[in-house]
Structure 1
């Protein structure tokens, strides 16, 4: 399953994503991973959640980000939920140009039975490409 949360920068998306991750990690049978482009929010997460800072790993495009996802699952087959904050900042690309990444993420989610929750900055929901609208929560 993939859920995408879209709203303007500063609207509280990260806070809600952290709350969701913390709540789900308490009752989840599998492990939870939180991916962000910096470590500012790391201390707000439950200690059971594995935090990954993409800036430390030089993740800068769609291919390296997808490689990170594959590495997370290959290192731990018990990962059930992955929370991705500010995807557009991580991949340094206009989100409309990331159709290939979303196709890979969809296949990844189904293949490894992993739930992905993704935050995107967008000014207007109508501007979202159709391939993302289908995942919008």
Structure 2
């Protein structure tokens, strides 16, 4: 399952994601991972979740991020939830078509490996593509 949190700047996406990460840590039997760019979530995310700064790794596009997620899972089969905060910041650009492609690929990964994903995206809801809307 892939869930998309979408909204413009200052709409509360990160706050909602933080709340979901902290709730998942309490509810999930497996490992919880949160990927973001920068260290702004360090004091907001429970220490029981693995917080990863994507800037520390060579992740600069959709293919790189998909490979990174696959590598995380290959190294730890106990991961059951992955949160990605600020997709456009991580991939270094705003491209709705690529974001949709990423979400579809994540959905296939989710089905195959039983990992649930939540992705936040700075995009006005009315600008979301039809493919993105299926993950809302």
TM range (shorter): over 0.9
Tell me if 1:113 matches 2:117.
no
1:50 matched residue in structure 2: 50
* d(CA) in 2 for partners of 1:27, 1:48: 12
Count of residue pairs the alignment pairs up = 135
Hey, what's the Cα distance between the residues in 2 that align with 1:118 and 1:95? 15
Post-superposition CA distance 1:67-100 (Å, at most 9, x none): 1100110010010000110001111233322133
Root-mean-square deviation (CA, aligned residues, Å) is 1.1
Query: What's the TM-score once normalised by structure 1's chain length?
Result: 0.93
TM-score, normalization: structure 2? 0.94
User: Structure 2: where are the runs of 5+ without partners?
Assistant: none
Aligned to 2:43, what secondary structure does the other structure show? Answer: helix
Q: Which secondary structure does the structure 2 equivalent of 1:5 belong to?
A: strand
Displacement of 1:2: 0.6
Unaligned runs of 5+ in 1: none
Confirm whether residue 15 of structure 1 aligns to residue 15 of structure 2: yes
| 1:110-135 per-position Cα deviation (integer Å, ceiling 9, x unaligned) | 11101100100013x12111111000
